[in-house]
Chains A and B, each alone.
Chain A
Amino acid sequence: MKRRRPFPIAWKLTLTILLATTPVLLLGMVVFAARTARELRVDLQRQVIRSAEMVADYTAPELAFGYTEQSTETLSRLQHDPHVLGATLYDREGRVFATYQRPGAELGVWPDPARLPLDAEPGLRTEWQHIDVLTPVTHQGDRLGTLHVLATTAGLQARMVALLASLIPLALVLALVAVVWAVLVQRGVSRPILELSSAARRLAEQGDYSLRVPPRGDRELVDLAEVFNSMVGAVEARQLRSERAEAAQRRTAETLRIVGQIQERALAGHPVTGVASEGLRDLVQLLQLEAAHVLELSDDKGVVLASYPPEASRVGRSWLVPKRSSALRELTERGFWRASREQRAPRFLALGCERADGHIALSLRAGPDLLGVLVLCRGSGAPTQVLERYAASEVAEALALALRHGRLLHENERHTAELERRVAERTAKLAAREAAYRLVITNADGLIVVDGAGAILFTNPAADELLGLEGGEPGQHRLEQTLRSGEVVEFTVTMPDESERRLSARAEAIDWEGEPCVAASIRDVTERRALEEQLLQTQKMAVVGRLAGGIAHDFNNVLMAMMGSVEMACNEEGLTPGVLRYLEGIQASVERGSALTRKLLNFSRRRRADLQDLELASFVEGLRDLFGRLLGEGVRLGLELPERPLWVRADPSDLEQVLINLIANARDAVGPNGQVLLAVELGTGGAWGAIVVRDDGPGIPPEIIPHIFEPFYTTKGIGEGTGLGLAIVYGIVERLGGTVMARNGLDEGAVFTITLPLIEEPVVSDPDIAILPEPEEIQGEGRTVLVVDDDEVIRSLIQEQLRTVGFQVFTAPDGDSALELAASLPQAPELLLTDMRMPGMDGMELVKRLQERQPDLRYLYMTGFGDDIIAAHGSDGPPANLIEKPFRLPTLLAAMEAVMKPPRARRRRQARRTRKPET
Chain B
Amino acid sequence: MALLCLLMLPAFGVQAQQTTFSEDEVKAAFVLRLATFTSWPSEDQDEGPFLVGVLGDDPVGRTLLELGPQQTVQGRRVEVIPMNGLDRLDDAHVLWVPSAVQRNVSSILDSIRGVPVLTVGDGDEFAYRGGHIRLLRDGNRVRFEVNLEACRESGLTPSSQLLRLGEIIHDSDGG
Contacts and interface: CB of A to CB of B under 8 A. Distances in A.
A140 B141 CA distance: 25
A134 to B, nearest CB: 18
Given A60-B161, A97-B11, 9 more contacts: A61-B161, A61-B162, A65-B10, A66-B13, A67-B13, A92-B11, A141-B75, A142-B36, A145-B11
B165 interface: yes
A252 interface: no
Contact of B165 (A57, A61, A93): A61
Given A140-B75, A141-B75, A66 B12 contact: yes
Contacts of A145: 11
A70 interface: yes
A61 B10 CA distance: 9
A847 to B, nearest CB: 188
Interface string A547-559: 0000000000000
Contacts of A142: 36
Contacts of B159: 61
A569 B36 CA distance: 214
Contacts of A202: none
B65 to A, nearest CB: 22
B103 interface: no
A70 B165 contact: yes
Interface string B3-39: 0000011111110100000000000001001001100
Interface in A132-157: 139-142, 144-145
A65 B30 contact: yes
Please tell me the size bucket of the interface on A: 20 to 34
Nearest to A139: B36
A67 B74 contact: no
Contacts of B13: 66-68
A56 to B, nearest CB: 12
A63 B8 CA distance: 10
Interface in A221-253: none
B93 to A, nearest CB: 14
A458 interface: no
Nearest to B17: A66
B11 A140 contact: no
Given A61-B162, A140-B75, A95 B11 contact: yes
Nearest to A67: B165
B36 A65 contact: no
16 contacts: A57-B161, A58-B161, A63-B11, A64-B10, A64-B37, A66-B12, A66-B16, A66-B141, A67-B13, A67-B165, A68-B14, A70-B165, A93-B8, A97-B11, A140-B74, A145-B11
B74 A66 contact: no
A66 B9 contact: yes
B75 A66 contact: no
B16 to A, nearest CB: 7
Contact of A62 (B16, B30, B165): B165
Interface in B58-75: 74-75
A91 interface: yes
B56 to A, nearest CB: 24
Nearest to A141: B75
Interface string A41-78: 00000000000000001101111111110100000000
A68 B16 CA distance: 12
B11 A66 contact: yes
Contacts of B33: 64-65
B121 to A, nearest CB: 17
A65 B165 contact: yes
Contact of B37 (A61, A92, A95, A141): A61
A712 B17 CA distance: 192
A68 B165 CA distance: 11
Interface string A80-109: 000000000001110101000000000000
Contacts of A62: 165
Contacts of B161: 57-58, 60-61
A92 B5 CA distance: 12
Nearest to A60: B161
A61 B164 CA distance: 9
A93 B37 contact: no
Interface in B73-126: 74-75
Interface of A: 57-58, 60-68, 70, 91-93, 95, 97, 139-142, 144-145
B164 to A, nearest CB: 7
Nearest to A68: B13
A93 B11 contact: yes
Nearest to A61: B161
A97 B8 CA distance: 12
A143 to B, nearest CB: 12
Interface string B37-57: 100000000000000000000
Contacts of A66: 9-14, 16, 141
Give the dominant DSSP class at B's interface.
helix
B142 to A, nearest CB: 8
Contacts of A67: 10, 13, 165
Contacts of A95: 11
Given A70-B165, A139-B36, A140-B36, A63 B75 contact: no
B86 to A, nearest CB: 30
Contacts of A91: 11
A266 B37 CA distance: 144
A144 B9 CA distance: 12
Contacts of B141: 66
Nearest to B16: A66
Contacts of B75: 140-141
Nearest to A58: B161
Contacts of B164: 58, 61, 70
B152 to A, nearest CB: 20
Pick from A61, A62, A63 the residue with the most CB of B within 10 Å: A61
B159 to A, nearest CB: 7
Interface in B129-175: 141, 159, 161-162, 164-165
B36 A63 contact: no
B12 A64 contact: no
A70 B14 CA distance: 13
Contact of B10 (A57, A58, A63, A141): A63
Contacts of B36: 64, 139-140, 142
B156 to A, nearest CB: 16
Nearest to A70: B165
A93 B33 CA distance: 18
A65 B166 CA distance: 10
Nearest to B26: A66
A144 B30 CA distance: 15
Pick from A63, A65, A95 the residue with the most CB of B within 10 Å: A65
A145 B159 CA distance: 19
A695 B94 CA distance: 188
A62 to B, nearest CB: 7
Contacts of B10: 63-67
Nearest to B72: A142
Contacts of A144: 11
**Across the A-B interface, the 3 shortest Cβ-Cβ residue pairs:** A66-B13, A66-B10, A61-B161
A782 B60 CA distance: 217
A861 to B, nearest CB: 187
A274 B30 CA distance: 150
Contacts of A70: 164-165
A618 to B, nearest CB: 156
A60 B161 CA distance: 8
Nearest to B13: A66
Nearest to A71: B13
Contacts of B165: 61-62, 65, 67, 70
A897 B47 CA distance: 206
A68 B9 CA distance: 12
B38 to A, nearest CB: 11
Nearest to B74: A140
Contacts of A65: 10, 30, 33, 165
Pick from B13, B37, B74 the residue with the most CB of A within 10 Å: B13
A97 B162 CA distance: 19
Contacts of A141: 75
